Structure formats: structure tokens, C-alpha cells
Amino acid sequence: MALHKSMNPVIEFPLKSESIPQQLDHEEEVAEWLEAFDQVVDDEGPNKGSELLNALVQRARETGIDVPVQLNTPYLNTIPASEEVPYPGDRKLERRIKSLIRWNAMAMVHRQNKKDPGIGGHISTYSSLATLLEVGFNHFFQARYGDQPGDLIYFQGHASPGVYARAFLEGRISEEQVKNFRHELRDTPGLSSYPHPWLMSDFWSFPTVSMGIGPLNAIYQARFMRYLENRGLIAKTPRKIWAFVGDGETDEPETLGSLSLGSREKLDNLIFVVNCNLQRLDGPVRGNGKIVNELEAYFRGAGWNVIKVMWGSDWDPLFEADKTGLLLKRMEECVDGELQSFKAKGGAYIRKEFFGKYPELLKLVEHMSDDEIHRLTRGGHDPQKVYNAYLRATEHTGSPTVILAQTVKGYGLGSAEARNATHSEKKLADQALSAFRTRFDIPIPESAARDGSLYRPADDSEELKYMRERRGVLGGFVPSREVMPLHFDAPSLEEFSESLAGSKGRAVSTTMGYVSMLRQLLKDPNIGKAIVPIIPDEARTFGMESIIRQVGIYASQGQLYKPHDQDMLLYYREEKNGQILEEGITEAGSMASFTASGTSYANYNAITIPFFTYYSMFGFQRIADLAWAFADARGKGFLVGATAGRTTLLGEGLQHQDGHSHVLASTVPTCHAYDPAYVYEIAVIVQDGMRRMYQLNEDRFYYITVYNEDYPMPEMPKGVEEGILRGIYKCRAAAEGNAVVQLFGSGPILNEALRAQEILAGKYGVSADVWSVTSYNELRRDALSTERCNRLHPQQPEKKPYILTAIEGARGPIIAATDYMKVVPDQLSPWLRERLVALGTDGFGRSDNRQYLRRHFEVNAESIATAALSRLAREGKFDAAKAAKAFEELGVATEGEDPAKL
Ligand SMILES: Cc1ncc(C[n+]2csc(CCOP(=O)(O)OP(=O)(O)O)c2C)c(N)n1
Ligand SMILES: [Mg+2]
């Protein structure tokens, strides 16, 4: 039988019944079935038809018949013209407004590149997105719901000129700012290239331009909104999350990797709009296939509601007139590369190559001019179609919706339309500027058009009045980031007394100490509810079962089963208002939750304090770009890298042992990274972090490494708080005083330094002080900024960086040992110079126990002690022969390969 095959092999469906070819084996039977089916649909409607089909498929499956799974629908609009509601806005006026925005967006980029060649910017992304955004701005994007914040909108990053151009017309962005697009460092600060809350903190909320991060964050944002609602932390509103996504952007695993969370959690507060302009930067997204079909199957398979907006209203009469189904067949036959060519090459080409394939189709358009054929619109450029899709999406319940909107890249840019190179187009030729002006009726003189002048009509013009009125109805302007003053009293340090008291000789790990601290915080009557523990399936590894029992895991449907361990104290407790976000094995997803929680103070007027605890090796090196976006978004919270340290995490080997996350953490400007050795140090850092982030409203976040090595935790000595926070304090002075060498240790390696102190004193008569270095990163940042200040003010008295003040009077070489790479202590070498000897864990990890690992990486007490003696010998302060012998005595190999290379 000759059923029509579309481009996608999983799709098979017949044309309209009249067009079924006549060579079917059971043609009469098929015709009868189809006729009966058509009859039911005609008499009882499409729902009945769907019910019948489902019943048939069900029956076939029950009897073991292999019914193909069909995830694609015909290459048509999901909403038939007959079901559309009329457009509620003033189409003419909205078109004029949109044209002005198009013009200014283009002019902004064009002018700047003329003035400052190479400054960059994009004009073709917005040109394809304009209608999709404008219908939203005029009719859907809600700025607030009463006293509650409104919709959260993730804009396609490269379309930012269009968003600025609208704000310019709205009077929210001055002409001066527009003229300084991508000139952020001028006297009048300009506009940032892309959506960056860090740079435009009262405008943008969501950094989206690193592709894939926006859609991923949007999904978890929608879930987090439900979490806040179900926990009673925010009021329920019809608030939506809109994510505008490029079709090329869907290549990113982050974009599509978490779709199932959306359907599992029934996130009908989430709407994706994929701008299917069929192109990315270099060329077509799926030149040899159909991106819309691929995405439809993907989203539908993941349980999303899919609405395709393929063709504009001007196609409706053609479909109506086509009695054969050939028009659809022709559309199905074309791969995206052809669809792109049609737009690039114009009406005559389309007539010949598209319609010309079948005489019936040629006849269909014989009354149309080439120009009319060329202008036949793609769905995403037709406000009527887009409005209906948005309306359906906002009314849909039970799952998220994706709108797949077909558009043209570079729409309206004349010769740049639908060309492979259009993404990189930054300037238009004089002639193209004039053509643009004419096509979109921009009321400026020809000469101004050729200059790419901006144009803003008078404040009381019809256009601006309409824009303001529409935004008024929808609660105000968007995008707009507004942070309300929120009152927060951080717990005092006394409230951490349990963590400060030490473990009374009991051997515990810093992880265990951190978990008890978290348990205490969760009980706190003032802030307990605000804490959001986030875990990617490692709670048991970190000993967090008790927290599961204490506050439960968030499960939007509650617990639908009796857990098998229900009788046990620490059973697996899931609840509708559970507090823990147990994300499963997704560090990226967890980071997206961390982002939603860490920015809730801005997006929901609600402070939540995320503690994202993960396997440190699978942290920064896996989600570094998301962490960067988190910082850009002014996120706050605590990242806790557990099972830290290349030699402290025993047994697991090369792909588990983290010796570099502190290097990566140091690259994020607002990330404050600490590597504490003792539980009281963690308490001081967490207490101060809460105070600074939520009470003093500083835009910063923390990275703290915690380890699984058990040892006794001392009580906090007096007066060390400042040192802990700034990065260093003296932990144990030489018993005999007069130290001639200084030992720096961090995390559990501090114990090795302490043991080295004993070896040096006991065996070699060398006295050493031991320091706990909680943060090389903080010490370096302080030293750099002090040095900058000294450099810029040569006449003023020289200031000392904290590191030099802290170790003032301490003599001799400094042996700094860490469970991280040597470059971590080396950060201080500009100030400690040749005094500094760094011992660290450069190289690949191994599976073995701590004793062997530390010996291998040369960070054990013996290596620290010998390093001290060796350095003293070089300085002529210790006998070189004795130093050489010490290596042998202490079992430190001298002739093996460098572990950094092994
Ligand atoms: C992670 C990442 N990789 C690469 C880029 C560079 N880049 C910017 S736009 C673009 C193409 C975008 O294509 P698409 O998503 O289809 O958006 P369109 O402009 O076509 O709407 C690329 C590769 C980026 N911004 N982020
Ligand atoms: Mg694209």
C-alpha cells in the first residue's frame, strides 16, 4: 500500500481519504473504515474520533499487534483555522509598533558596527522572533499578579536588541543608552550585549546566552515555583514561565535533557517557544531533515503538549482549495535546506521548485504574483496564529507546552533573509536600509534611513499610547528585575554552639559536622523553612538520611506507595510539602534548582537558602558554566562539595578524586571558596555567609569543601573568626616557640601538617608553627586588591595584604600542603615569593587508601617534614646531609617519577 511517507521514518499517515491510491490489498475495507471514521468525526466531533482510535490501538496492542508509535502529526498548524479565535488587538497598530522595534533593533546594531567595526551584535535572530515576542508583550506577558511578581521570561539571548528597542520606545531606556549598545564602559553606561542581570540588574533576570542554560533553568524554575507554592512559601498565581529557545539551541543536551521533569511534575506553568527559523550560526539546523518534526517527536515523547505554528493565515485558502492533500504532501517532502532556499531565492523560484513539482499545485497559485508567493508567511510571523497558540498554551493544564513556531531567519532583511551567513550580519548596505524603511513603513527621511538613525515617535503618538496601555493592562513593563527589601536576621554565631564546641575527642568528619549543622538550621524557628537542601542522589553517601526523615523529600504528588523501610526510623519519606529537593543523578538539574532557589529573593520576593551538596568531583568541572550563569544572575547560597580531596576520598580512583574544584571555583568572581579543616570553621563561614548574603544583601555565594575522613574536632579557639573568614589563622604554634619554619595546611591535610610539626620537633629539633588556611582564594583576592590600591597610589603609605599581616613575624620557609593542586597555594607566591613551597595533588588520582595516596602525591606528614628540612638545608640553616638522610628515614622516595605526570 502506498501510504505517504514523510521525511521522518517514524511517521506514516495517509492523505485525505480521496487521495488514497488505489493499489491497496484491502482497499475496499480500508475505504469503508475511513468512511466510517469520517462519519463519526463529522457527527460526533474530533474527541470522539480520538477516543475511537485510542480504543483500536489499545485493542491491537492487547492482541500483540505491533502498532507503530507515532509521535508526529502532519506538517501543519496544530490549531486548525476553524478553531481559531479572532485576534483581540489592533493588528494595524501592533504591526506599526513592531516595525518600529524592528527598525530600532536593526539600527542599534548597524550604527554601532559602523562606528566601532567589529563590536558585533545580531539582527537576524530578533527579526525572526519579533512577532513571537510582540504578541507576548501585547497580550500575554504578565508583569505582576496583584502584589505578586508576574511571569518569568527567558529571552533568547541574541535577540536582546529587539528587547532593548521595545524598552526604548516605552521610554525605559534612553537614546543615549541605545547609542551605547555594547559600549558599557563609557561615561553614559550603555546596554549589555546580552541578558546579564549582573550588568543590568534592574532589567534582566535570566542569563540565557550560553545556549542550553536558559531552557534547563526554565524547567527547574517552573518546578521550583510549584515547590514554593506547595510548601506555602509563596501564593499560588497563574504565573507562567516562558522560555524562548533557538532551534539550533536544541542541539545542546542541556536544552532537551530534562524535558521529562516537566511532564512528570505536570508543569503547566511552563511554556517553551522554539523559534524554528531552521538556521543556526553556520547554516541550516537540519538541512537534510526537519527540525520541527524532530522536536515534535522529542517533546511529545517526553509528554509535553506540542503546538505547531507552521503556516500563516495566507496559506489557509490554499489548503482549503487543495482537495487532494498534495500541498501537505509537498510540504512533507521538503527538507529544511529546501525550505530555507525557497525563502532565500524568492517567489519565482518557489513557484518553480515548490509548487511546480505537481501541476495541481501550480494551478493552486496561478492567481498569485511571484511577490505574493514569496510573502506567503511562516506561522511564527502571523500574529493571529501565534496568539491562538499562546492562548491554548496558557489554558492548557496537566503538562508543559512547547510551541514550535516556524519562522524565517533575517525576516525582512531583504538580501540577508534566510541566508546561511545571515546570523553574522551586522550591517546593512545603504540600499538595504532604504528597502527596510520602505517595507516596514518607517516614517523617517531617506537620508536618516541611510544613516541608520533611531526613531521614536512622540510620547503621545498612537503607537506609544497603545504600547503603554497594553503593558498597563498586563501590570507593567517587562523585562524588569526588581528586588524588594526583605527583612532577614541571620542566626548569631552562638546559635551554632554545637558546631563550635568540638567533638569531645570523638572522630567525626567535616561532612558529618556539616550535616548536623544543617539539621540544626532546619530546626531554626526563624530560618528553618527557608533552607532548601538539594541533593543529586548522594544523601546516603554524605550521611544525610536523618535529614530525609526530618524534613522529607519534596514530592508534588505526595508518597503514593508505602516505603519498604517505613518501620525504620530513617525511612524514605516523600511529602507534598517536603523540603529536600532530591534531584536524582543530575548535577546540571540540581544546579538549575540551586539557581532557582538562589535567586528566589528577586523572582518571588522570598528568601530561600539553598545548600546544594554534591560529590565535589562532579561539581564545578561538570557544571561550571551553570555556576557562571548563577553568579551573573546574582545568585546566593551554599555549594557544598563533599567527598572532597584527591587523597582524602579513598578507594574511588581517578574519576572520583577531586583535586581541582578550588581552582575552578576561583574563576567565578562572586564565588567565595573555602577548604575548612574543622567543623567550627564551617560554622563561622556559614554564619557569616548568611549574614552577608541575606542580611547585608551582598550578591555572593559560597563553595565549601567537606571531607569524609574522621578525626577529633577541636573546640573553636578564641579570636580566630576573622582569620577563618579571611583565609588563614595560626592553629598550633611551635611548642618550644621560636619557629624557624611555617607549615600551612587545609582540610584534612592540616592533620598531616600537625603531624609533620611533631616529626620535625621530635626527630630533627626543628620547631614549626602550623596554620590552617581556610581559603587561598580569599587571601589572593585580598592581596590583589591591596596591591592594586598600592599601584594606583604610589604616594600613599603602602598597605599590606592580609596574608602578610597575618603571618607578620613568622620566620622561615613556608611549606603549604593541600589536597588540591599546587596552584591553589601558589596563588600566594607573588607575596610569599621564594619562601613558599607548595605541596599538592597534581596529576590523576588512584584507587588506594589515604596512607598510600598521600605518600604517592607527597602530601603526607613525612613529605611535609622532608620538604621543610630540604628547604632549610638550601638556605644553609640545616645540614644538607641530614636532610637527605631524613628522606630515607621517613620513607619518602626521591627517585620515583613525578606523580603529576603519572
Ligand atoms: C553554548 C554556546 N555555544 C555557542 C554559542 C555561539 N552561538 C551564538 S548564536 C548561535 C547560533 C544560534 O542558533 P539558534 O539557536 O538556532 O538561534 P537563532 O539565532 O537561529 O534564533 C551560536 C552557535 C553560544 N552562544 N553558546
Ligand atoms: Mg535558529
| pLDDT tops 90 at residue 831 | yes
Q: Which of 9-13, 434-438, 637-641 has the highest mean pLDDT?
A: 637-641
Confidence of residue 13 (pLDDT cuts 50, 70, 90): very low
Are residues 602 and 484 in contact, defined by beta-carbon separation less than 8 angstroms?
A: no
Output the CA 10–ligand 1 centroid distance in Å. Answer: 28
Output the CA 897–ligand 1 centroid distance in Å. Answer: 45
Give the closest residue (by CA) to ligand 1 atom 8: 281
Give the closest residue (by CA) to ligand 1 atom 12: 280
Convert the pLDDT of each residue in 250-279 to its tens digit. Answer: 999 999 999 999 999 999 999 999 999 999
Closest ligand 1 atom, residue 129 Cα: 21
Output the CA 392–ligand 1 centroid distance in Å. Answer: 28
Ligand 1 contact via 247 beta carbon (within 6 Å): yes
Closest ligand 1 atom, residue 281 Cα: 11
Convert the pLDDT of each residue in 386-442 to its tens digit. Answer: 999 999 999 999 999 999 999 999 998 887 788 988 888 888 888 888 999 999 999
| pLDDT tops 60 at residue 111 | yes
- The x, y and z cell numbers of residue 185, run together, are 564602559
Closest ligand 1 atom, residue 277 Cα: 20
Q: What is the mean pLDDT of residues 28-47?
A: 90
336 alpha carbon, closest ligand: 2
The secondary structure element, H or E, covering residue 531 is: strand 531-535
Q: What is the mean pLDDT of residues 770-795?
A: 98
Q: Which residue has the cell 514554593?
A: 228
User: Residue 380 carries which DSSP code?
Assistant: G
User: Residue 12 carries which DSSP code?
Assistant: B
Ligand 1 contact via 336 beta carbon (within 6 Å): no
Q: What is the mean pLDDT of residues 440-457?
A: 93
124 alpha carbon, closest ligand: 1
Convert the pLDDT of each residue in 724-767 to its tens digit. Answer: 999 999 999 999 889 999 999 999 999 999 999 999 999 999 99
Closest ligand 1 atom, residue 275 Cα: 21
Tell me the average pLDDT of the chain. 95
Output the CA 105–ligand 1 centroid distance in Å. Answer: 18
Ligand 1 contact via 425 beta carbon (within 6 Å): no
Ligand 1 contact via 279 beta carbon (within 6 Å): yes
Output the CA 232–ligand 2 centroid distance in Å. Answer: 40
Output the CA 282–ligand 1 centroid distance in Å. Answer: 10
Output the CA 249–ligand 2 centroid distance in Å. Answer: 7
Give the closest residue (by CA) to ligand 1 atom 23: 281
Give the closest residue (by CA) to ligand 1 atom 16: 248
Closest ligand 1 atom, residue 128 Cα: 21
Q: Name residues whose C-beta falls within 8 Å of residue 423's C-beta, 6 or more positions apart in sequence.
A: 122, 124, 125, 279, 280, 281, 282, 409
Give the closest residue (by CA) to ligand 1 atom 20: 280
Q: Name residues whose C-beta falls within 8 Å of residue 793's C-beta, 6 or more positions apart in sequence.
A: none
Q: What is the mean pLDDT of residues 100-109?
A: 96
Convert the pLDDT of each residue in 57-94 to its tens digit. Answer: 999 989 999 888 889 999 999 999 999 999 999 999 99
| pLDDT tops 90 at residue 229 | yes
End-to-end CA distance of the chain: 64
Give the closest residue (by CA) to ligand 1 atom 13: 280
121 alpha carbon, closest ligand: 1
How far from 329 is each of 340, 406, 407, CA to CA, in Å?
18, 18, 20
Mutate to test the pocket of ligand 1, among 163, 209, 249 (most ligand atoms within 8 A of CB): 249
| pLDDT tops 60 at residue 6 | no
Sheet holding 305-309, edge to edge: 152-154, 241-246, 270-276, 401-406, 305-309
Output the CA 117–ligand 2 centroid distance in Å. Answer: 25
Ligand 1 contact via 281 beta carbon (within 6 Å): yes
Output the CA 158–ligand 1 centroid distance in Å. Answer: 8
Give the closest residue (by CA) to ligand 1 atom 25: 210
Output the CA 673–ligand 1 centroid distance in Å. Answer: 32
Output the CA 280–ligand 1 centroid distance in Å. Answer: 6
CA gap 174, 140 in Å, rounded: 25
Helix axis angle, 462-473 to 124-139, nearest 10°: 60
Report the pLDDT value the prediction gives residue 23, as an integer from 0 to 100: 53
Report the pLDDT value the prediction gives residue 10, as an integer from 0 to 100: 40
| pLDDT tops 90 at residue 473 | yes
| pLDDT tops 50 at residue 471 | yes
Output the CA 591–ligand 1 centroid distance in Å. Answer: 22
Q: What is the mean pLDDT of residues 217-246?
A: 98
Q: What is the mean pLDDT of residues 757-778?
A: 98
Confidence of residue 25 (pLDDT cuts 50, 70, 90): low
Ligand 1 contact via 209 beta carbon (within 6 Å): yes
Closest ligand 1 atom, residue 246 Cα: 15
Ligand 1 contact via 158 beta carbon (within 6 Å): yes
CA gap 708, 512 in Å, rounded: 8
CA gap 629, 607 in Å, rounded: 19
Report the pLDDT value the prediction gives residue 414, as an integer from 0 to 100: 83
Confidence of residue 641 (pLDDT cuts 50, 70, 90): very high
Convert the pLDDT of each residue in 684-693 to its tens digit. Answer: 999 999 999 9
| pLDDT tops 80 at residue 876 | yes
| pLDDT tops 70 at residue 20 | no
Ligand 1 contact via 745 beta carbon (within 6 Å): no
Confidence of residue 18 (pLDDT cuts 50, 70, 90): very low
Output the CA 859–ligand 2 centroid distance in Å. Answer: 51
Give the closest residue (by CA) to ligand 1 atom 7: 281
Give the closest residue (by CA) to ligand 1 atom 17: 246
pTM of the model: 0.94
CA gap 420, 284 in Å, rounded: 7
Convert the pLDDT of each residue in 268-311 to its tens digit. Answer: 999 999 999 999 999 999 999 999 999 999 999 999 999 999 99
Output the CA 569–ligand 2 centroid distance in Å. Answer: 53
Ligand 1 contact via 248 beta carbon (within 6 Å): yes
Report the pLDDT value the prediction gives residue 27, as an integer from 0 to 100: 82
Q: Name residues whose C-beta falls within 8 Å of residue 435's C-beta, 6 or more positions apart in sequence.
A: 414
- The x, y and z cell numbers of residue 454, run together, are 533611531
In three-state secondary structure terms, 173 is coil
Closest ligand 1 atom, residue 124 Cα: 19
Output the CA 128–ligand 2 centroid distance in Å. Answer: 9
Sheet holding 728-732, edge to edge: 728-732, 768-773, 741-745, 814-817, 836-839
Q: Name residues whose C-beta falls within 8 Å of residue 822's C-beta, 6 or more positions apart in sequence.
A: 838, 839, 840, 842
**How many contiguous H segments (helices) and E segments (strands) does the chain have?**
37, 22
CA angle 836, 838, 844 (to 5 degrees): 165
Ligand 1 contact via 275 beta carbon (within 6 Å): yes
Output the CA 250–ligand 1 centroid distance in Å. Answer: 10
Report the pLDDT value the prediction gives residue 24, as an integer from 0 to 100: 54
Mutate to test the pocket of ligand 1, among 158, 273, 274, 294 (most ligand atoms within 8 A of CB): 158
276 alpha carbon, closest ligand: 2
For residue 297, which of 75, 128, 80, 79 has the smallest C-alpha distance? 75
Ligand 1 contact via 280 beta carbon (within 6 Å): yes
Give the closest residue (by CA) to ligand 1 atom 10: 281
